[in-house]
């Protein structure tokens, strides 16, 4: 593709040099540059891409995308106001605007994105459609699975995956859209058919600084992205039970569609029943009623069912496929995922890493009278410090025994993180255990601090007796732990299974 043709998608640019050159590829990492590439010098959160221009030129870059002219000789320089936004548009154009040929569904919100994406994948597949998904757990389509370094990939990688989906015959793509991705312009150039809002609770305030900024980032999917979409029919699907849902519905572009449990929107639950074995429901939709069941547990998953059914409704998926897709999804990796074994002790692993998500998980797992609830949790380092005491408060009030441990401490001192979490427990005057209590050897609700996550999981399983529940929260599907700048293998599910096997061995 000639550079001058590629640049036609950018409304604002200054071209310095001859744009009648062939561009063979795009890159935002200098190490990915090959002969004839355009290198986008992105200003990152911790680094500036212009520092790597010399390396990109050495590797064969013939054009630069920059936000200010550079003192370099040779390459064409394309100067734009925002390199990230420009790269997103160029990436879409370079890969042939793949979203234009797909039904593209974007899901945003603090909690529920992943489970809803799995539900939609199941529903659309039951309808005979070919589905691709990009989200927190992985990126997958047509039997191909790729690791997910971020919930929403950088724009260039996103457009490449969408192109590959299109070429593989995918008809519908489901994309988890994070607030970071929206703020950093990663999904510009994507023609969305549906934007879905699940909820908004505290998270990522280390990046957004305030809940208002966090909300403004989420709103971009419904204002900026839907407004720029070239799709003829565009839908904004929102959770009306969330305090921000109604306001979002008013400002959203496209056709608004609301769902709720407490409020009667376009789709609502006339009745439902929760049990340890799943959910039974009767939803009222514009096309009639939907009566079915799901193996997923918890009131929060009822909202996920409503969200997925609402998207399927606006896409005119058959009621039979909606019910079959909901019933067919038996588990979501790391989302209240049951660890096999236990002999009377049930252990679950969940991704809950916000106060709201942790509270919902604890409410869902509250055992029958006589049973106790034990939770293992921590808070990530180099992230929002303000939520740490709140996580401590939620865990202690919602459980019988809370074990505070390390999550991904990253470059922070793990002990300092634990101290800040513990600040939320002190006002509750709960008993602090100095050593892990044996099974049945404790009665008074309390907490303890065990910095080593493996030891904390083993202590939780060891303290449980028949009829008790154990929740291991925070990491869910993740199979690693970040210590300093090193990523080491660590899987809560594996550790819990080994702890359960050790208990059986001692028995």
Higher pLDDT, residue 14 or 369: 14
pTM of the model: 0.94
Instruction: Summarize pLDDT for 429-478 with one digit per residue, the tens.
Output: 899 999 999 887 888 999 999 999 999 999 999 999 999 999 999 999 99
Domain 337-506 indexed as CATH 3.50.50.60: no
Instruction: Please check whether the two domains, 3-82 and 337-506, share a CATH topology.
Output: no
pLDDT of residue 507: 44
Q: Residue 472's pLDDT is what?
A: 98
pLDDT band at 44 (very low <50, low <70, confident <90, very high): confident
Which CATH number applies to 98-328: 3.40.50.300, 3.65.10.10, 3.40.1190.10, 3.30.70.100? Answer: 3.40.1190.10
| Residue 440: per-residue pLDDT | 74
User: Mapping DSSP to helix (H, G, I), strand (E, B) and coil, where does residue 57 land?
Assistant: helix
Q: What is the mean pLDDT of residues 276-294?
A: 97
Q: Residue 384 in 3-state DSSP?
A: coil
207-238 pLDDT, tens digit each: 888 999 999 999 999 999 999 999 999 999 99
pLDDT above 90 as % of the chain: 92
| CA distance linking residue 97 with residue 448, whole number of Å | 54
Sheet holding 103-108, edge to edge: 144-147, 138-141, 131-134, 172-176, 103-108, 194-197, 235-239, 255-260, 267-275, 278-285, 288-294
Say whether 16 sits in a helix, a strand or coil. Answer: strand
Alpha-carbon span 416 to 466, nearest angstrom? 35
Cα–Cα dist 395/363, whole Å: 11
Which secondary-structure segment (H or E) carries 106? strand 103-108
- Under the banding of pLDDT at 50, 70 and 90, the label for residue 504 is low
Superfamily of domain 3-82: MurE/MurF, N-terminal domain (3.40.1390.10)
Domain ranges for the chain, please list them: 3-82, 98-328, 337-506
């Amino acid at each position: 593709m000639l550079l001058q043709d590629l640049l036609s998608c950018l409304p604002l640019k200054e071209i310095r040099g001859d744009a009648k050159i062939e561009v063979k590829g795009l890159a935002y990492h200098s190490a990915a540059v090959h002969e004839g590439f355009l290198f986008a010098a992105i200003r990152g959160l911790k680094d500036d891409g212009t520092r790597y221009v010399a390396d990109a030129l050495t590797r064969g870059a013939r054009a630069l995308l920059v936000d200010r002219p550079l003192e370099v000789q040779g390459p064409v320089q394309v100067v734009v106001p925002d390199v990230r936004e420009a790269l997103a548009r160029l990436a879409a154009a370079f890969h042939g605007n793949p979203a234009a040929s797909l039904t593209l569904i974007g899901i945003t919100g603090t909690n529920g994105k992943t489970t809803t994406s799995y539900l939609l994948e199941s529903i659309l597949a039951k309808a005979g459609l070919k589905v691709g998904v990009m989200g927190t757990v992985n990126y997958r389509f047509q039997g191909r699975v790729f690791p997910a370094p971020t919930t929403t990939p950088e724009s260039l990688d996103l457009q490449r995956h969408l192109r590959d989906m299109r070429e593989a015959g995918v008809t519908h793509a489901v994309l988890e859209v994070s607030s970071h991705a929206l703020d950093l312009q990663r999904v510009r150039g994507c023609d969305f058919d549906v934007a879905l809002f699940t909820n908004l609770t505290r998270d990522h305030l280390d990046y957004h600084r305030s809940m208002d900024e966090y909300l403004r980032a989420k709103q971009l999917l419904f204002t900026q992205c839907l407004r720029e979409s070239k799709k003829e029919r565009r839908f904004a699907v929102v959770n009306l039970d969330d305090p921000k849902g109604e306001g979002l519905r008013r400002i959203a572009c496209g056709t608004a569609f609301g769902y709720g449990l407490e409020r009667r929107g376009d789709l609502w639950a006339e009745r439902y029943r929760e049990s340890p074995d799943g959910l039974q429901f009767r939803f009222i939709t514009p096309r009639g009623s939907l009566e079915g069941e799901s193996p997923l547990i918890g009131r929060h998953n009822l909202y996920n069912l409503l969200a997925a059914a609402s998207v399927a409704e606006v896409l005119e998926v058959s009621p039979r496929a909606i019910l079959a897709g909901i019933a067919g999804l038996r588990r979501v990796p790391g989302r209240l995922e049951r660890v096999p074994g236990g002999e009377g002790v049930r252990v679950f692993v969940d991704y809950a890493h916000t106060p709201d998500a942790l509270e919902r998980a604890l409410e869902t797992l509250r055992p029958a009278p006589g049973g106790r609830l034990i939770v293992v949790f921590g808070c990530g380092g180099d992230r929002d410090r303000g939520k740490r005491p709140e996580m401590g408060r939620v865990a202690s009030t919602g459980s019988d025994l809370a074990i505070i441990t390390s999550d991904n401490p990253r470059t922070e001192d793990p002990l300092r993180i634990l101290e800040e979490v513990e600040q939320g427990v002190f006002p509750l005057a709960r008993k602090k255990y100095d050593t892990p209590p044996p099974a049945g050897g404790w009665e008074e609700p309390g907490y303890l601090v065990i910095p080593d996550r493996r030891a904390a999981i083993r202590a939780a399983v060891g303290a449980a007796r028949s009829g008790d529940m154990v929740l291991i929260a925070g990491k869910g599907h993740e199979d690693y732990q970040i210590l300093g700048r090193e990523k080491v293998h660590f899987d809560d599910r594996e550790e819990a299974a080994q702890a359960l096997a050790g208990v059986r061995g001692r028995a």
